[in-house]
């Protein structure tokens, strides 16, 4: 027995129908702790080198952390990993809800799926009983629709994750959906399940998880809840969730607008957090054990129909909203709903749509290519393209590859405004005026994703403290600010953020209580000890998080031909086109400064000038690769 863990790894081979359960090894727990630690180690060790992401041999991993499912705030996170069809490298994605904790209650810390089912199937787990079941009647249907149908068929006490038609059709940015609005959105993780003929995974778990000191956990968990409620961010941040940052981003010139051509819009107040509450919200919705429910379940009314949907949160508001120049909050929420039903990541979908609109605007795509006239700001264009993408029909088949792949097909210089890093579309922060944010996205192992680094507030405030976002963004903003952080000085803060943010994906809790509300890291050390009996400091957790940057970098070196420095460049637009107007008019970061930042960053990481970890660095972190 290992305190804090369910104790078993579940392996499912879909080609042979072989189901094997093995004890969770103590060495894996001691060295890699859980969640993202497990997925990074297992993917490196077990995935066949150079496997195609859609090959049956590409493994699909689900992993929970030691804190997942216990009595403390927001311990309901689940981590997924596989070789990414979007980047061709290490890919992972994290999701809230109730799925991971139920997997642990069923007895599993890790599930590794490989092979390919002969026919459309789903995986059914009821504690020890694990089956591969025919899913023909669910295939082709929307994510939430199938979740609802499966709950009717199996019972409300099953937790279900599904893919939509986009995952079935191997769209490079297909997501996994769960809990009627939670997604593991990024890196095309849903397409990998689709490639294995798996429509859904349903789990029911009724067991307990051994805890080292239950009384201590109760005491510390209660304290965490109590102290969290006393923080100003508790009442300041929770009502609007991430959508509350929209105005600030617009004011400081960080709100992507018209495919990142501009950095602010003149209708932010129509698509901000207040608009979500006023126009859409029916109720708050949260994940397992969460006292700060950031989900806003609402009702969107549009000229083409109504929809009930969780969201939109900030990334969706910015990328399906201002970045597509769509200014009606109901229309944005409806696009959010369509993405959820089709199983498309709203971040990548927003960037892909805006890329297509710009191609059309510049005459690189025509009505004949697309099937209709499409344009920025046109809701119906967006609906049409999303459906084409999910079905891989016509131009949708080109756009389904993501902006990197689509630009390669369309050509004519469209790569100038394909906004991605390593093949993953950039999320909702214009960074031409934010060197730290830009560097954090450039160097992330999975591509441009805010889950790996967020230092925009530091760029704006010139602060070197990673932590409470609200402290960084509150107070009067100078409308004419320029980054106070010098380019070479941003490296320490980027490294710190890159270690802290994904650290929560290792232990299995939500990061927002720390990032947005300011809950101190010492609480996590205390509950970690109460649960596992292991004294594991936050410093050690950050050190492990740092180690994973080297391990995943080496995975990318192994899997992506020619991988190195050139894969860390930002989109061309960001170092060649000044921001045309708004508070940061004229600003961009020149290539020379980007190269300098990379030099400093590689030095700070212990990587060579091509961005490859040196043998000394690997040895220092105990990586014998």
- Binding-site ranges for ligand SF4 (CB under 6 A): 74, 96, 286-287, 290, 292-295, 510, 512
Closest approach, Cβ 427 to ligand SF4, in A, equals: 15
Q: CA of 69: how far to CAs of 6, 26, 62, 139, in Å?
A: 10, 20, 15, 31
d(CA 248, CA 268) in angstroms, rounded, equals: 10
> Would you say 83 or 178 has its CB closer to ligand SF4?
178
Closest approach, Cβ 228 to ligand SF4, in A, equals: 11
Nearest residue to 457 via CA among 252, 300, 309: 252
289: Cβ contacts below 8 Å, ≥ 6 apart: 71, 72, 73, 74, 75, 76
* H helices present in 47-133, as ranges: 99-106
Q: CA of 416: how far to CAs of 146, 408, 575, in Å?
A: 39, 11, 10
Is residue 267 a contact partner of residue 327, using CB atoms and an 8 Å limit? Answer: yes
> Would you say 74 or 302 has its CB closer to ligand SF4?
74
Q: What number of residues does the chain have?
A: 625
Closest approach, Cβ 452 to ligand SF4, in A, equals: 16
> Would you say 314 or 602 has its CB closer to ligand SF4?
314
DSSP helix/strand/coil, 444: coil
Closest approach, Cβ 75 to ligand SF4, in A, equals: 8
Closest approach, Cβ 415 to ligand SF4, in A, equals: 34
> Would you say 287 or 472 has its CB closer to ligand SF4?
287
> Would you say 239 or 611 has its CB closer to ligand SF4?
239
> Would you say 280 or 512 has its CB closer to ligand SF4?
512
Closest approach, Cβ 317 to ligand SF4, in A, equals: 15
- 586: phi then psi, degrees, rounded to nearest 5: 90, -5
Closest approach, Cβ 96 to ligand SF4, in A, equals: 4
> Would you say 228 or 385 has its CB closer to ligand SF4?
228
Nearest residue to 449 via CA among 497, 520, 413: 497
Q: Which two tokens stand for residue 173?
A: 């940015």
d(CA 376, CA 358) in angstroms, rounded, equals: 8
d(CA 539, CA 537) in angstroms, rounded, equals: 5
Q: Nearest 10 degrees: CA dihedral of 55, 56, 58, 61? A: 140
Closest approach, Cβ 297 to ligand SF4, in A, equals: 11
The answer for 188, left when phi > 0, alpha when psi is -120 to 50, beta otherwise, is left
> Would you say 82 or 513 has its CB closer to ligand SF4?
513
Closest approach, Cβ 509 to ligand SF4, in A, equals: 8
> Would you say 296 or 605 has its CB closer to ligand SF4?
296
d(CA 607, CA 11) in angstroms, rounded, equals: 35
DSSP helix/strand/coil, 224: helix
> Would you say 185 or 295 has its CB closer to ligand SF4?
295
Element (H, E) at 564: none
Closest approach, Cβ 119 to ligand SF4, in A, equals: 35
DSSP 182: E
Q: What angle do CA 285, 453, 442 make, to 5 degrees?
A: 130
């Amino acid at each position: 027995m290992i305190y804090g863990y369910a104790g078993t790894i579940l392996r499912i081979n879909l080609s042979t129908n072989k189901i094997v359960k093995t004890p969770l090894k103590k060495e894996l727990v001691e060295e890699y702790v859980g969640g993202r630690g497990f997925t990074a180690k297992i993917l490196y060790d077990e995935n066949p080198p150079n496997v195609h992401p859609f090959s049956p041999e590409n493994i699909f991993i689900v992993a929970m952390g030691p804190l997942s499912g216990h009595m403390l705030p927001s311990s309901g996170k689940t981590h997924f990993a596989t070789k990414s069809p979007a980047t061709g490298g290490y890919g992972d994605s994290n999701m809230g809800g109730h799925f991971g904790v139920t997997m642990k209650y069923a007895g599993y810390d890790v599930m590794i799926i490989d092979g390919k089912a002969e026919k459309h199937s789903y995986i059914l787990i009821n504690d020890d009983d694990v089956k591969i079941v025919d899913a023909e009647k669910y295939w082709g249907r929307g994510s939430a629709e199938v979740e609802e149908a499966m709950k009717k068929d199996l019972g409300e006490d099953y937790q279900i994750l599904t893919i939509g038609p986009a995952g079935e059709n191997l769209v490079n940015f297909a997501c996994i959906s769960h809990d009627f609005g939670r997604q593991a959105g990024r890196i095309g993780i849903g397409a990998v399940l689709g490639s294995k003929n798996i429509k859904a995974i349903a789990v029911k778990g009724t067991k307990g998880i051994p805890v080292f000191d239950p009384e201590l956990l109760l005491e510390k968990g209660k304290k965490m809840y109590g102290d969290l409620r006393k923080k100003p961010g508790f009442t300041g941040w929770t009502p609007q969730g991430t959508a509350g940052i929209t105005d600030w981003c617009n004011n400081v010139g960080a709100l992507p607008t018209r495919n990142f051509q501009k950095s602010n819009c003149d209708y932010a107040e129509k698509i901000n957090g207040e608009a979500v509450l006023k126009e859409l919200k029916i109720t708050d919705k949260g994940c397992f054990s969460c006292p700060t429910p950031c989900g806003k379940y609402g009702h969107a009314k549009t000229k083409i129909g109504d929809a009930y949907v969780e969201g939109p949160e900030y990334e969706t508001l910015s990328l399906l909203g201002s970045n597509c120049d769509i200014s009606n909050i109901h229309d944005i929420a409806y696009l959010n709903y369509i993405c959820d039903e089709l199983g498309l990541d709203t971040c990548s979908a927003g960037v892909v749509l805006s890329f297509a609109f710009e191609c059309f605007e510049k005459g690189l795509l025509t009505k004949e290519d697309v099937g209709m006239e499409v344009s920025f700001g046109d809701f119906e264009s967006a609906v049409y393209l999303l459906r084409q993408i999910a079905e891989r029909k016509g131009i949708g088949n080109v756009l389904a590859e993501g902006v990197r792949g689509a630009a390669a097909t369309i050509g004519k210089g469209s790569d100038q405004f394909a906004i991605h890093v390593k093949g993953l579309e950039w999320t909702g922060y214009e960074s031409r005026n934010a060197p730290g944010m830009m560097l954090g996205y450039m160097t992330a192992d999975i591509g441009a994703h805010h889950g790996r680094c967020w230092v925009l507030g530091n760029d704006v405030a010139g602060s070197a403290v990673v932590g409470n976002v609200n402290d960084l963004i509150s107070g009067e903003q100078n409308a004419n600010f320029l980054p106070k952080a010098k380019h070479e000085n941003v490296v320490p803060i980027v490294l710190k953020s890159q270690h802290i943010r994904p650290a929560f994906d290792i232990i299995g809790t939500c990061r927002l209580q720390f990032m947005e509300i300011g809950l101190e890291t010492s609480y996590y050390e205390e509950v970690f000890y109460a649960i596992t009996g292991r004294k594991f400091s936050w410093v050690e957790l950050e050190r492990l998080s740092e180690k994973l940057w080297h391990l995943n970098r080496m995975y990318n070196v192994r899997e992506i031909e020619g991988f190195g420095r050139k894969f860390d460049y930002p989109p061309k637009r960001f170092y060649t086109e000044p921001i045309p107007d708004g508070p940061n008019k004229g600003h961009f970061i020149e290539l020379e400064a980007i190269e300098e930042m990379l030099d400093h960053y590689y030095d700070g990481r212990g990587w060579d000038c091509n961005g490859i970890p040196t043998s000394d660095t690997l040895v220092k972190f105990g990586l014998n690769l």
